Amino acid sequence: MDRRKSLKAIALGSVATGLAAHGCKPGEEKPEIVDVKTHEPVKWRTDYENKILTEIKEGENFFNEHQRETMVVLCDLILPPSEEFKGASDADVVSFIDFMARDTESEKMQTDLKGGLMWLDHKCNTENGVVFKSATESQQKTILDEIAYYDPKVPENERPFEVNFFSMVRNMTMSGFYTTKIGIEELGYKGNMPNVWDGVPQDVLDQHGVAYDPEWIAKCVDQSKRNIAAEWDENGNLLT
């Protein structure tokens, strides 16, 4: 799929609909624009990247209202909010998935998402007489129990569609959640800030049954001298 063509079509489509809905004719007052979606170009991206983001963000959402509500319910079943943990919706995972569905240029992902949500509603309607988002948690979980587990020994393309659909939503929910501030805090990742690396703590070495070789460590940087400018003798022996 040509991203630019499709986005252009979407953008034109939305403008046309907007005008029709407001019954705007030439000479009349401009309709008030509600919920303007824009992208502020950032300097760390190239012009081309900023252009693509503008096109995506100013385009229509991937999920319609019903799909979005269903996704919120589904993602919160995957990572539920509780007293101990934040849930998927606390990290607005569905907006992330909506963006990625448009960004990846993957028709398969888009079709699988739409089709998977239809499948969920159909299944739930058939078994419970309600769409998935309106079912009880127990009804929802009964459905998930059938599709949430897979046999890793079976190649992915040989697994049932609904199982792969759920795996995809689970993957996107996990990535969407654990790349946010609350997700990173929960995981406990300690990096992405200036520090001075001076080796693995002893208790960690002990836990995993490994040790540093003193001969190796003797060659490593003495962090107390890191700010003293390097000088060598003519044979490449560090003097400082």
Partner 1 sequence: MQIIENSTVYDAIIVGSGAGGGMATKVLADAGLKVAVVEAGPFFDPADPEQKTQLRWPYESERRGAGTRYRPFGDYDAAYGGWDIEGEPYTHVEGTKFNWFRSHMLGGRTNHWGRISLRFGPKDFKGKDRDGYGDNWPIGYDDVKPYYDKVDKLIGVFGTNEGLPNDPDGFFLPPPKPRLHELFYINGAKKSGVPVYPSRMSMLTKRINKDRGVCFYCGQCGRACQVYADFSAGTCLIFPAQKSRGQVDLFVNSVVREVTTDEEGKATGVSYISKDDRKEYKLKGKTVILAASACSSARILMNSKSKQHPNGLGNSSDVVGKYLHDSTGADRAAFIPDLMNRKVSYNEDGVGGMHIYSPWWGDNSKLDFPRGYHLEIWGGMGMPSYGTGFNVNDFNKFFGTKAGGYGDILRSDLKKYYGAVVGISARGESIARKDNYCEIDPNVVDEWGIPVLRFNYKWSDLERNQAKHAHDTFEEILTNMGGELMGDKPGKDRDYGLHTPGAIIHEVGTTRMGDDSKTSVTNKYQQLHDVDNVFIVDAGVFTSQADKNCTWTILALSWRASDYIVEQLKKQNI
The reply on whether position 214 binds partner 1 by CB under 8 A is: no
Report residue 226: phi and psi, to 5°.
-65, -25
Alpha carbon distance 211, 204 (integer Å): 10
21/36 with CB nearer partner 1: 36
Q: Segment near partner 1 (CB under 8 A), from 14-22, 27-35, 115-123, 167-175?
A: 167-175
- Half-sphere exposure (Cβ direction) of 145: Cα atoms closer than 13 Å: 6
Q: How far is the CB of 197 from partner 1 (least distance, A)?
A: 4
The residue whose two tokens read 């998402």 is 113
The reply on whether position 103 binds partner 1 by CB under 8 A is: yes
Site for partner 1 in 131-160 (CB under 8 A): 144, 148-153
The reply on whether position 130 binds partner 1 by CB under 8 A is: no
The residue whose two tokens read 């703590």 is 201
17/189 with CB nearer partner 1: 189
**Cα 149–Cα 153–Cα 155 angle in degrees, nearest 5:** 90
Alpha carbon distance 103, 97 (integer Å): 10
Contact residue for partner 1 among 14, 17, 46, 136 (CB under 8 A): 46
111/207 with CB nearer partner 1: 207
Site for partner 1 in 2-41 (CB under 8 A): none
Residue 85 is given by DSSP the state S
Q: Segment near partner 1 (CB under 8 A), from 30-38, 61-69, 78-86, 109-117?
A: 78-86
Question: Which amino acid type is present at position 122?
Answer: H
Whether the Cβ atoms of residue 126 and residue 143 lie closer than 8 Å to each other: no
Q: How far is the CB of 240 from partner 1 (least distance, A)?
A: 8
